[in-house]
Amino acid sequence: QFHMIKYKDLKWEESLGQGSFTRIFKGSKTDVHDGEKHVTEVLLKELDVVHKNCWESFFEAASLMSQISHKHLLLVYGVSVHGVKNIMVQEFVKYGALDLYLKRGRSVSVSWKLDVAKQLASALNFLEEKNIVHGNICTKNLLLAREGDTSQGSSPFVKLSDPGVSVTMLGKDVILDRIPWVAPEVLEAPENLTMECDKWSFGATVWEIFNNGNAPLRGWDLKRKRQFYESFQQLPPSQWTELADLISQCMEYQSAFRPSCRSIIRQLNSLITSDYVILHATEPVTQ
Ligand SMILES: N#Cc1ccc(Nc2nc(N)cc(-n3ccc(CO)n3)n2)cc1
């Protein structure tokens, strides 16, 4: 399914943090093409040894991303297995995950945020056309390749990362902790993961982007998070009614009623042309 990379061709540099069951490092890989040595900077994503039994699912996520290529999907160079170590080798994306970028208090404009939302919607539309479910859409898995500079009018560029270990392999608590990104129907039966679930997660991700990377339901314990779904609650609506409408359409408890990707893109396009964007050219930093 994908390229096997020799462990000896990889070099680890600084640690860059961790995801669920994984650790990420900056690194480099060395290839030899027609006698020439090429060194490429990469992101090394290691599956925690304690979860090595999830290696199939970990690599399934990698192969999902390497089966298809799209400008807003992360490029996975391949995988490397060395003893108990399972490593996914990814293109290094310059500015890392969007949740941390937004938390660092960059004041970005409304049009910057809409641009990012539209790029994510086009990646989702592409996956839908290929009948591929991602299963873990959130700003932690949205990578910023280009910052974009609103004053210069250059726009940001994002890439959707791999979904990581499948939600079907995760314990109930890990799934509960993913409220409100995980669709309600997935809680009942994780194997229910469908494209409709990605639309729910898209709604929660757009909510994050417009709330400067503040996690929705931050600090809520698992009991309160479960009750959020049991009482069919919605996230606090944005003052921008049309945006709030799009988010609540995506976060519709009945999966069949969620909008198509085409409709999501159409609604984002009309938001981009609305006068709200001009009025809120650069949001005051709210932190
Ligand atoms: N400071 C800093 C800094 C950190 C990371 C990158 N680059 C990068 N490249 C990738 N291919 C994937 C990721 N990820 C980050 C979280 C996840 C979870 O999915 N991935 N980060 C660049 C700068």
Q: Which residues line ligand 1 (CB under 6 A)?
A: 16, 19, 24, 43, 74, 90-97, 140-141, 143, 161
> Which atom of ligand 1 lies closest to the CA of 19?
18
Q: What is the mean pLDDT of residues 131-142?
A: 96
For residue 261, give the nearest of 104, 137, 174, 107 by alpha carbon: 137
Query: What is the position in ligand 1's atom list of the atom closest to the CA of 91?
Result: 11
What are 32-59's pLDDT values in tens digits? Answer: 989 999 999 999 999 998 888 888 898 8
Which residues is 244 bridged to in the sheet? none
d(CA 110, CA 278) in angstroms, rounded, equals 9
Distance CA 21, CA 89 (A): 16
Q: Encoding tokens for residue 235?
A: 């996230």
**Which of 152-156, 192-196, 210-214, 236-240 comes out lowest in average pLDDT?**
152-156
What's residue 95's pLDDT?
Answer: 96
Mean pLDDT for the chain?
93
Give the closest residue (by CA) to ligand 1 atom 5.
96
Q: In sequence order, what E strands does 117-229 have? A: 142-146, 157-160
Ligand 1, closest atom to CA 90?
Answer: 11
**191/26: higher pLDDT:** 26
Closest CA to 4 of 122, 131, 69, 89: 89
d(CA 181, CA 204): 6
Taking only the tens place, the pLDDT of each residue in 111-121 is: 999 999 999 99
Asked if the model's pLDDT at residue 66 lies above 90, the reply is: no
What is the reported pTM? 0.95
Percentage of the chain exceeding pLDDT 70: 97
CB 228 within 8 A of CB 217: yes
pLDDT band at 105 (very low <50, low <70, confident <90, very high): confident
- ipTM over cut 0.95: yes
What is the rounded CA–CA span in Å between residue 20 and residue 37?
A: 34
What is the predicted pLDDT for the residue at 51?
Answer: 85
Structure tokens of 215? 């996690």
Residue 80 gets the label, from left (phi > 0), alpha (psi -120 to 50) or beta, of beta
Q: Give residue 35 CA to ligand 1 midpoint distance, Å.
A: 31
The better pLDDT of the pair 98, 33 is held by: 98
pLDDT at 280: 77
User: Helix, strand or coil for residue 253?
Assistant: coil
Q: Is the pLDDT of residue 200 over 80?
A: yes
